[in-house]
Amino acid sequence: MREALTGDSTLGGQQPRKHYGITSSISLAFPREIDHIYTQKLTEAIEPFGVFEGEDELNHRLAVLGKLNSFVKEWIAEISESKNLPPSAVANVGGKVFTFGSYRLGVHTKGADIDALCVAPRHIERTDFFSSFFEKLKRHDEIKDLRAVEDAFVPVIKFKFDGIEIDLLFARLLNIALQSIPDNLDLRGDSLLRNLDIRCIRSLNGCRVTDEILYLVPNKENFRLTLRAIKLWAKRRGIYSNMLGFLGGVSWAMLVARTCQLYPNAVAATLVHKFFLVFSKWEWPNPVLLKQPEDSNLNLPVWDPRVNPSDRYHLMPIITPAYPQQNSTYNVSTSTRTIMSEEFKNGLTVTDEILQGKADWSKLFEPPNFFQKYKHYIVLTASASTEENHLEWIGLVESKIRVLVGNLERNEYITLAHVNPQSFPGSKENHNENEFVSMWFIGISFKKLDNSDCVNIDLTYDIQSFTDTVYRQASNINMLKDGMTIEATHVKKKQLHHYLPPELVQRKKKSLGEINRSSNGGGSKRCSLDGSQLDSSRDTDIGTPFSSPTLVSKPCQPVSSPEDSSITPPNHPVLVFIDNSPTASEVSPPKPEQGMSIPVIGSSKLPITTPVAKPPAPPAGNTIPTVVGRSVIPRITSSSPSPTELPNSVNGAPKRPHSPSQEDPPKRHKDTEVFSDDSAFKEPYPPNSNGLDCEARPAVEGLSATKPMPIPTIDTSRSQRLPSKELPDASSPIPTSNLRVIKNSIRLTLNR
């Protein structure tokens, strides 16, 4: 068994002292009595949020997993017999269900799903899993809501077993020594990956990463309580979503695990504070590593910026400890990293107050008022005509919202695009054909103007390229159906009451009892068609721990005469005047008072109060498939470069002009250094000033002579990374059947 501890010799020829991780610990101090008291108070503070499961629920999960394990063994034996294996082999063929993610880590919440993996011997094929096993599940009385996602990045069967949601992956092992699957099988050995196809490797990755994390922490109970608190904090603060460019469950687990390695004897209250201390001062994009990466000579792609130029563009790398090592934060963008960095600093300030006795732990878990934070918002609306279509459609749209955020970030006048991970239901009253509606809100910060009084900002290209990506993906996977639409609307803060209930728009503190009741509210789990393996835990509770409101005001429509009330906004450019002055919120807005739709359906009539300008020619090759099922054939020209191929602006990197024409893709930065050693994987020692323990300083100074070389990263967009298999090539044609395609010019006028 591999050794998780690393030895380093101490001064004076003393016995080598063991430590966890790739550097020595910052502090080995044991907890004081006051630390135990603060930890008890922390436990009491997070308990009302439903983060702990009762004994009955836990026993129910164990019973369900036992039934599923027996069910899998029975199925494997049946398939083995049908494939003419001898009876002696059939009797011992085995098979096992492994768990991973939050349940395996021991930090799952009430009502959370279970991520599981079915491991079968070599003669069981993946096609058997998605055919005969699927049919066997279908005949089981306790199985409900059964669906298979065979073409996902990580193929999965989803179902409810006696009320417990389960996501079941599949992997078969080809190791010659494993003619059967024993109950004591350990998946941590790299040799198990030999000769496996990539889908089996991805499926095994979740279990291998989870097991490795648990193996690399010094105290599992302290780790678990700390992780529960940090995950709750991240959800409450709106930064828990791998899909939208924040961090997912496995990434938060690795950050907490690294904190535990640096403070191996600390209890949870101390670890929560040290977590914010370490990562508020972390110098990204230096990577977070739990162990020195190992090469198993299996020729699998691993995260290595010395070899892969695309890896140098990752903004916030957190590297999984199991081979093949991957960056679990592949989706992080400039905006999301900025938002999380601010939250780390805010968390440090709050925990400082708590440990000084100036505040309670409840302050750490207060949600931010997202809808008071920005002056301008983009409302993204996804609609479908049936509930089943709606669940599929919003899964795809949500997985691509980070593309829109990236487009907005590259606009030279936008400094931040902040997406709220929580989606909200739309009002059916304003959608005759589309009965099921979901909305996402993106807060926008514009650059302050210095010399010019007025600047026109064109978001047409940003919206067009995003909708092109979504519709192209939907067409490629044959998802596109009648009634599926996307609409983007610009609104000011004062107009949000048209979309949201008053209690969300106006800050109103709830009592702890109200928060607890809402956190336990229902909500159907949506299928993520993104299928990313980056967040191996694939936690389903990616939103804040309170359910979406069910009562929503009617979405606003442009002001028009009564006879125009049934007509959608016109196919004309819309000038929206944005006052960026400090008193903007106090100035009466020009009419129309409500939000302006961005992709809209054409009309021959104009609202008389809408300012109209001559539409400029849109960039060549860009179309907006806005509504499905209108029997209008779009005009398609040559495809333009994909927006995801353009670099983000990070630390002064050039941004895309706000009114782009057909541009050449940016040239790749020429590599100026060649790295031949392992220095790229050396984790920089966390800063030891501004509050870190004094006793750690001699150890840091002692390492100064052999200071690790910084990782070769280029702090700009991830856009130059290797193309994702889940995204179609930019040259893929936009679907041409049954689509209404409208070209609009959306201009915002920014006043100083």
Task: Select which of 20, 240, 374, 471 is catalytic.
Answer: 240
The letter for the amino acid at 490 is H
- To the query of whether residue 240 is one of the catalytic residues in this protein, the response is yes
Which H or E element spans position 625? strand 625-628
* pTM score over 0.85: no
- To the query of whether residue 519 is one of the catalytic residues in this protein, the response is no
Task: Select which of 80, 96, 128, 167 is catalytic.
Answer: 167
Give dist(CA 631, CA 636) in Å, integer: 15
Residue 8: pLDDT band (50, 70, 90) is very low
Q: What is the pLDDT of residues 217-268, one digit of tens each?
A: 999 999 999 999 999 999 999 999 999 999 999 999 999 999 999 999 999 9
Out of 3.30.420.40, 1.10.1410.10, 2.40.110.10, 3.20.20.10, the CATH code matching 217-364 is 1.10.1410.10
Give dist(CA 121, CA 96) in Å, integer: 10
pLDDT for 27: 95
Give dist(CA 312, CA 715) in Å, integer: 7
- Residue found by looking up tokens 């990782």 in the block: 711
Mean pLDDT of 714-733: 38
Pairing type for strands 156-161 and 143-149 reads antiparallel
Query: Is the pLDDT assigned to residue 596 strictly greater than 70?
Result: no
Give dist(CA 428, CA 139) in Å, integer: 36
Q: What is the pLDDT of residues 297-356, one digit of tens each?
A: 888 999 999 999 999 999 999 999 999 999 999 999 999 999 999 999 999 999 999 999
- To the query of whether residue 274 is one of the catalytic residues in this protein, the response is no
C-alpha closest to that of 643 among 403, 467, 415: 403
Portion of the chain with pLDDT greater than 70, in percent = 63
Residue 18: pLDDT band (50, 70, 90) is low
- Span of 78-82, 303-307, 465-469, 565-569 with lowest mean pLDDT: 565-569
Q: Where are the domains of the chain?
A: 55-213, 217-364, 370-502
- To the query of whether residue 539 is one of the catalytic residues in this protein, the response is no
Paired strand residues for 288: 318
Task: Select which of 27, 102, 383, 745 is catalytic.
Answer: 102
Q: What is the pLDDT of residues 358-394, one digit of tens each?
A: 999 999 999 999 999 999 999 999 988 888 888 889 9
Name the CATH topology of 370-502: Alpha-Beta Plaits (3.30.70)
Using CA atoms, how far residue 534 sits from 252, 320, 337, 473, 671, in Å, is: 12, 9, 17, 20, 27
Helix (H, G, I), strand (E, B) or coil at 485: strand
Chain centroid, CA 323 distance in Å: 22
Task: Select which of 73, 96, 231, 400 is catalytic.
Answer: 231
Give dist(CA 383, CA 179) in Å, integer: 50
- Span of 10-19, 34-43, 360-369, 723-732 with lowest mean pLDDT: 723-732
Q: What is the pLDDT of residues 494-549, one digit of tens each?
A: 889 888 888 888 755 544 444 444 444 333 344 433 333 333 333 444 333 333 33
Q: Which residues contact 11 (CB under 8 A, 6 or more apart)?
A: none
Give dist(CA 408, CA 717) in Å, integer: 13
Buried b (16+ CB within 10 A) or exposed e, 47-58: ebbbbbbeeeee
Superfamily of segment(s) 55-213: Beta Polymerase, domain 2 (3.30.460.10)
Helix-, strand-, coil-residue percentages of the chain, each rounded to 5: 35, 15, 50
- To the query of whether residue 113 is one of the catalytic residues in this protein, the response is yes
- To the query of whether residue 528 is one of the catalytic residues in this protein, the response is no
Q: Of residues 316 and 93, which shows the higher confidence score?
A: 316
Q: Which residues contact 13 (CB under 8 A, 6 or more apart)?
A: none
Give dist(CA 721, CA 311) in Å, integer: 6
Task: Select which of 24, 25, 113, 180 is catalytic.
Answer: 113
pLDDT for 91: 85
List, in sequence order, every beta strand (DSSP E) within 56-192: 96-100, 114-120, 143-149, 156-161, 164-172
